């Protein structure tokens, strides 16, 4: 065998050590810091994540219920809007307007005339007054509810032979025009 460097009886030098001292690990006390803090940190992070997911899920469910409620409300309001639009369309029809005008005592217009301003003020058509032989009868329907007092220019007249009350309208005097220097 080869030479023994610094060794005693029966000890052989291992290749690569070159006679250096050997390091050995002896079992002893474990260090105070072990796996416990890491395990506690992992458990805390998992618990916080689960609580965050629970809070997020609850908020999403509340938003879903609010969305459903608002969609139902939108449907109801859309139906109401369509019903009101249909009623407006019915009341705006020409026959409905003519019927309502007749209820208020209005008569159809006579011949109509138009003034063509761009062409030198030429009158187009033949003007004619509205034709209604009898005085205007007072309607049984009040056109402006809540206005119980008649205007000062309207004066009731004795009942007509048909039992209806007629109204005579007296035009009011025109208001005076404001003067140019009145505001100074």
Torsion from C-alpha of 175, 176, 177, 183, nearest 10 degrees: -110
67 has which bridge partners? none
For residue 167, the surrounding DSSP H or E stretch is: strand 167-169
Alpha-carbon span 56 to 43, nearest angstrom: 20
Task: Read off the pLDDT of residues 21-78 as tens digits, 9 standing for 90 and up.
Answer: 777 777 776 655 678 889 999 999 999 999 999 999 999 999 999 999 999 999 999 9
- Distances in whole angstroms, Cα of residue 3 to Cα of each of 6, 18, 19: 9, 12, 11
CA dihedral 37, 38, 44, 50 (to 10 degrees): -170
pLDDT score of 127:
83
The pLDDT of residue 105 is 81
158 pLDDT exceeds 70? no
* Bridge partners, residue 144, by sequence: none
C-alpha to C-alpha distance for 131 and 106, rounded to whole angstroms: 11
Q: What are phi and psi of 169, to 5 degrees?
A: -100, 125
pLDDT in tens, 82-131: 999 999 999 999 889 888 988 888 888 778 888 889 988 888 888 888 77
Question: Which 8-state DSSP code applies to residue 15?
Answer: T
- Model-level pTM? 0.37
Q: Give 184's pLDDT tier (boundaries 50, 70, 90).
A: very low
On the question of pLDDT at 168 being above 80, the answer is: no
Per-range mean pLDDT, top range of 101-105, 139-143, 165-169: 101-105
**Structure tokens of 155?**
């004066």
Higher model confidence: residue 152 or residue 128? 128
Is the confidence at residue 14, as pLDDT, over 90?
no
The helix (run of H) or strand (run of E) holding residue 36 is helix 36-91
Contact 109, 127 (CB under 8 A): no
Helix, strand, coil proportions of the chain in percent (round to 5)?
Answer: 35, 10, 55
Assign 122 to helix, strand or coil: strand
Q: How confident is the model at residue 10 (pLDDT cuts 50, 70, 90)?
A: low
């Amino acid at each position: 065998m080869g030479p023994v460097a610094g060794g005693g009886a029966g000890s052989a030098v291992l290749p690569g050590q070159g006679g250096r001292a050997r390091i050995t690990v002896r079992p002893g006390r474990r260090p105070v810091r072990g796996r416990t803090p890491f395990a506690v940190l992992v458990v805390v992070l998992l618990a916080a994540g689960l609580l965050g997911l629970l809070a997020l899920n609850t908020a999403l469910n509340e938003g879903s219920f609010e969305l459903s409620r608002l969609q139902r409300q939108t449907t109801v309001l859309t139906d109401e809007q369509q019903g009101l639009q249909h009623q407006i369309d019915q009341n705006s029809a020409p026959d409905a307007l003519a019927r309502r005008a007749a209820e208020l005592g209005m008569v159809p217009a006579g011949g109509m005339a138009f003034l063509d301003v761009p062409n030198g003020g030429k009158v187009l058509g033949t003007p004619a007054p509205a034709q209604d032989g009898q005085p205007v009868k007072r309607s049984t329907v009040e056109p402006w509810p809540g206005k119980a007092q008649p205007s000062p220019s309207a004066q009731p007249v004795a009942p007509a032979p048909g039992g209806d009350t007629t109204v005579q309208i007296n035009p009011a005097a025109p208001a005076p025009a404001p003067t140019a220097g009145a505001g100074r």
